[in-house]
Copies of this chain bind each other. A is one copy, B any other.
Amino acid sequence: MSLIIDIHGHYTTEPEGHMAFRAQQLDAVENSLASPAYPNITDDEIIESIEQNQLRVIRERGADVTVFSPRASGMGHHLGDAQTSIEWTRHSNDLIKRVVDLFPRNFVGVCQLPQSPGADLNSSIAELERCVTELGFVGCNLNPDPSGGNWQGPPLTDRSWYPFFEKMCELDVPAMIHVSGSCNPNFHATGAHYLNADTTAFMQFLQGDLFADFPALRFVIPHGGGAVPYHWGRYRGLAMRMGKPDPGEHILPNVCFDTCVYHLPGIELLLDVIPIDNILFASEMLGAVRGADPETGIPWDDTKQYLDALDLSAEDRAKVFEGNARRIYPLLDKRLSELGIG
Residues of A within 8 A of B (CB): 144-145, 149-151, 153-155, 184-188, 190-192, 195-196, 199-200, 203-204, 206-207, 223-224, 226-227, 229-238, 240-241, 261-263, 265-266, 268-269, 272-273, 288-291, 293-294, 300-301
Do residues B241 and A291 form an inter-chain contact, with CB atoms below 8 A? yes
Q: Number of copies of this chain in the oligomer? A: 2
Do residues A231 and B266 form an inter-chain contact, with CB atoms below 8 A? yes
Taken together as a complex, chains A and B put the C-alpha atoms of A39 and B184 apart, in Å, by 41
Do residues B188 and A233 form an inter-chain contact, with CB atoms below 8 A? no
Known: A151-B151, A195-B231. 15 other contacts (CB 8 A): A150-B150, A187-B200, A190-B234, A192-B199, A196-B199, A223-B231, A231-B262, A233-B293, A234-B288, A236-B263, A237-B262, A238-B289, A240-B291, A241-B290, A268-B269
Taken together as a complex, chains A and B put the C-alpha atoms of A8 and B234 apart, in Å, by 16
Contacts of A268 in B (CB 8 A): 269
- Closest-CB distance, A136 to chain B (whole angstroms): 32
Known A-B contacts A234-B300, A262-B233; A207 and B227 likewise in contact (beta carbons under 8 Å): no
Known A-B contacts A155-B185, A237-B300, A240-B291; A266 and B232 likewise in contact (beta carbons under 8 Å): yes
- Closest-CB distance, A234 to chain B (whole angstroms): 5
Do residues B200 and A186 form an inter-chain contact, with CB atoms below 8 A? yes
Q: List 15 A-B contacts (CB under 8 A).
A: A151-B184, A186-B200, A188-B203, A188-B206, A191-B203, A191-B235, A192-B204, A195-B231, A224-B230, A230-B266, A233-B263, A234-B261, A234-B300, A236-B300, A265-B269
Do residues B191 and A206 form an inter-chain contact, with CB atoms below 8 A? yes
Contacts of A188 in B (CB 8 A): 203-204, 206-207
Which secondary structure characterizes the binding site on chain A?
helix
- Closest-CB distance, A95 to chain B (whole angstroms): 25
Contacts of A265 in B (CB 8 A): 232, 269, 272-273
User: Which one of B145, B190, B269 contacts A266 once the chains associate, using CB atoms below 8 Å?
Assistant: B269
Taken together as a complex, chains A and B put the C-alpha atoms of A184 and B144 apart, in Å, by 14
Contacts of A149 in B (CB 8 A): 151
Taken together as a complex, chains A and B put the C-alpha atoms of A206 and B233 apart, in Å, by 27
Contacts of A154 in B (CB 8 A): 185-186
- Closest-CB distance, A221 to chain B (whole angstroms): 12
